[in-house]
Amino acid sequence: NAGVTQTPKFQVLKTGQSMTLQCAQDMNHEYMSWYRQDPGMGLRLIHYSVGAGITDQGEVPNGYNVSRSTTEDFPLRLLSAAPSQTSVYFCASSASLVVSSYNSPLHFGNGTRLTVT
Amino acid sequence: SQKIEQNSEALNIQEGKTATLTCNYTNYSPAYLQWYRQDPGRGPVFLLLIRENEKEKRKERLKVTFDTTLKQSLFHITASQPADSATYLCALGGKLIFGQGTELSVKP
C-alpha cells in the first residue's frame, strides 16, 4: 500500500519555466489537496478537490492550476515559475466523501522540494 | 482574520519529562482539531483528532485537550523519548488550516 506518492522529490526550475508536480493515491480517497510549506509560515492550502472533475481554490492559489480527471491523480501545474514559488509542496488525501467532512485525517506524501532561480 | 498560532520557539526537554505544546486560534469556531507530527524531509503524519465536545483525548503517551472557551488546544507527550523529537502541527477548520508547528527536541 503506497499511500500518497509525489514525484519528483526535487526540482530546479528557471523563472518562467512550467512544470507539473505529480500526486497519486491508491486509497480511493475522494478528497485531495495541495499545500506549500515555507519556513515560519506553516502549511498553506493551494487547491483542493472533493472528487473527480471538482476542484476549488485554497488560501494561496495564484500561479497554480489543478485538474482532477481521475480519483487517483491530482497534478499541480506551475504555468510560469517565479522565485516566490520556491517551496516544499505536499499533496494530501482524505477519506472524506462530502464537503462538510473535510476534517477526517489527511494522509500526506513526502513532498516535492522546488527551487526556482 | 482567522489565525492559528503555535509556539515558534523550539521546545527542548529532558528524556522522561512531559512535553506540552500549545495551539491557539482566533476567529474560528472549529468543531474539531487535529494534531500531526512531521519529521525532517517527510510529510506530516496524523496523530490525534479531538472534537469540541471532547475535553480530552488520549492515545498511548499522547494527550490532547481542547478548550473552546480559551480557544486553545494543548498537546502533551508523557515520558518523552528522543524518538519523539519532531515538529508538531495543529490543524483545524473546514479546509484544514495548519499552524506553523513547534519543534520538539528530547535530550537523553
- Interface probe for B, chosen from A55, A103, A108, A113 (most Cβ of B below 10 Å), is A103
pLDDT of residue B30: 80
SS3 B108: coil
Would the CA dihedral through B12, B7, B67, A43 be positive or negative? negative
Q: What is the mean pLDDT of chain A?
A: 91
Tell whether the model's pLDDT for residue B19 goes beyond 90.
yes
Whether the CB of B79 is below 8 Å from some CB of chain A: the reply is no
Grid coordinates 480527471 are at which residue?
Answer: A69
pLDDT digits (tens, 9 = 90+) for A40-83: 788 999 999 989 999 999 999 999 999 999 999 999 999 999 99
d(CA A117, CA A97): 39
Q: What is the mean pLDDT of chain B?
A: 92
Tell whether the model's pLDDT for residue A98 goes beyond 70.
no
Whether the CB of A92 is below 8 Å from some CB of chain B: the reply is yes
Tell me whether residues A43 and B98 touch, CB distance under 8 A.
yes
pLDDT of residue B104: 97
pLDDT of residue B27: 86
pLDDT of residue A103: 54
Pick from A76, A57, A79, A56: nearest CA to A66: A76
Quick one: average pLDDT of B32-57? 92
pLDDT digits (tens, 9 = 90+) for A10-42: 999 999 999 999 999 999 999 999 999 998 788
Q: How confident is the model at residue A93 (pLDDT cuts 50, 70, 90)?
A: very high
B94 against A66, higher pLDDT: A66
Tell whether the model's pLDDT for residue B82 goes beyond 50.
yes
Tell me whether residues A90 and B89 touch, CB distance under 8 A.
no
Would the CA dihedral through B95, B55, B87, A2 be positive or negative? negative
pLDDT digits (tens, 9 = 90+) for B60-74: 999 999 998 999 999
Tell whether the model's pLDDT for residue B48 goes beyond 70.
yes
Q: Which DSSP state fits A95?
A: -
pLDDT of residue B31: 79
List all residues 6 or more positions away from A106 whose beta carbon is below 8 Å from its beta carbon: A33, A92, A93, A94, B34, B36, B44, B46, B91, B96
Whether the CB of A106 is below 8 Å from some CB of chain B: the reply is yes
pLDDT of residue A102: 46
